[in-house]
């Protein structure tokens, strides 16, 4: 007599595809829960030290949930009638080795299937009598624990949904956004006007120099040129340097002039020329 095919086995099933673990590791855990009641299987998986046990527990809970919602069965009356792991696709990777060689790395995947079925009435009565005699209700506790986990998961999803909905409700309208933009623009323009007024006051204070109205005192940064005053003047040598002059960049300005005529009126001569004597002037 041949056994039933994998896809024809009776019961309620759940399947997880492409789990990132080898089928060998999954089978080592599945062999421990095959034929166990839901309570015993959940307890074994909860205290297992293998990482794949967490994935198997999720598949087991999913199968029990399918049996409750789709088939109208109770979790306390279910047991693991079949469970198996099929090999999935393998990811190929490479690891460098000595002398320019490479070694293949195979990252295995598997498909885990768990099928749960209801105990027959005789077996179910015997289990209930045994639990009553020992004073333990493992199936009921496991079912209640699973329901509590499901309730917590639903509560978290509802809280996240309400949080997103509250944020959507708090989004400002188009009129409010436009009003905020207008207020911000007005504030920035007012700040710019105040800054320009301060700069103009500072410029008026700096323009007061003993070399005429078209002269400007140096700024805090001696190399920075005041707006509209491109000519550098040296008070020690009484010479001025124009921007195209040879020593313009190396000269530290003690006074700035707007034009060459203003520098000449202040008694400065152009760098590279000699001052005319009184006889030459006559």
112: domain CATH number is: 3.90.470.10
144, part of any domain: yes
45, part of any domain: yes
Residue 109: CB atoms within 10 Å: 17
Q: 111 with 28, same domain?
A: yes
Which pLDDT score, from 0 to 100, does residue 205 have?
A: 44
Mean pLDDT of all residues in 38-64? 95
Domain end residue (candidates: 144, 166, 188) = 166
Q: 83 with 152, same domain?
A: yes
Q: 88 with 29, same domain?
A: yes
Which pLDDT score, from 0 to 100, does residue 139 have?
A: 61
Mean pLDDT of all residues in 168-175? 66
Say whether pLDDT at 29 is over 70: yes
Per-residue pLDDT of 178-211, as tens digits, reads 788 878 888 877 777 766 655 554 554 444 567 7
195, part of any domain: no
Say whether pLDDT at 79 is over 80: yes
Q: 152 with 27, same domain?
A: yes
Report the DSSP beta bridge partners of residue 255: 233
Q: 161 with 47, same domain?
A: yes
Q: 217 with 157, same domain?
A: no
Q: Which range scores top for mean pLDDT: 2-11, 110-119, 245-254?
A: 110-119
Q: 13 with 152, same domain?
A: yes
Q: 140 with 235, same domain?
A: no
Which residues fall within 8 angstroms of residue 256, CB to CB, at 6 or more apart? 215, 216, 217, 218, 225, 226, 229, 230, 231, 232, 233
Mean pLDDT of all residues in 119-133? 85
Tell me, yes or no, if the pTM score tops 0.85.
no
Q: 255 with 208, same domain?
A: yes
172, part of any domain: no
Q: 159 with 227, same domain?
A: no
189, part of any domain: no
281, part of any domain: no
Mean pLDDT of all residues in 61-77? 92
174, part of any domain: no
Per-residue pLDDT of 106-123, as tens digits, reads 999 999 999 999 998 888
Q: 131 with 85, same domain?
A: yes
Report the DSSP beta bridge partners of residue 257: 215, 231
Q: Which domain range does residue 155 map to? A: 6-166
The count of structural domains within the chain is 2
């Amino acid at each position: 007599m041949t056994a039933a095919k994998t896809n024809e086995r009776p019961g309620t099933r759940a399947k997880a595809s492409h789990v990132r673990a080898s089928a060998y590791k999954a089978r080592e855990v599945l062999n421990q829960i095959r034929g166990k009641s839901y309570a015993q299987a959940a307890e074994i998986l909860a205290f297992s030290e293998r990482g794949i046990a967490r994935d198997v527990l999720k598949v087991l809970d999913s199968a029990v949930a399918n049996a409750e919602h789709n088939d109208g069965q109770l979790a306390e009356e279910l047991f693991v009638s079949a469970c198996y792991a099929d090999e999935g696709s393998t990811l190929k990777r490479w690891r460098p080795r000595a002398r320019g060689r490479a070694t293949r790395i195979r990252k295995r995947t598997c498909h885990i299937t768990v099928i749960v079925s209801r105990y027959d009435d005789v077996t179910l009565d015997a289990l209930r009598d045994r639990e009553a005699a020992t004073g333990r209700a493992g199936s009921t506790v496991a079912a209640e624990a699973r329901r509590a986990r499901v309730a917590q998961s639903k509560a978290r999803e509802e809280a996240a949904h309400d949080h997103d909905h509250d944020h959507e409700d708090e989004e400002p309208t188009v009129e409010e956004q436009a009003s905020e933009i207008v207020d911000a623009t007005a504030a920035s323009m007012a700040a710019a006007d105040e800054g320009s007024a301060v700069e103009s006051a500072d410029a008026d204070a700096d323009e007061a120099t003993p070399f005429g109205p078209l002269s400007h005192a140096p700024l805090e940064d001696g190399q920075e040129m005041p707006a509209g005053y491109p000519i550098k003047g040296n008070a020690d040598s009484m010479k001025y340097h124009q921007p195209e002059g040879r020593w313009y960049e190396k000269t530290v300005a003690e006074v700035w002039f707007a034009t060459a005529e203003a520098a000449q009126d202040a008694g400065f001569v152009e760098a590279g020329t000699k001052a005319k004597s009184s006889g030459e002037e006559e």
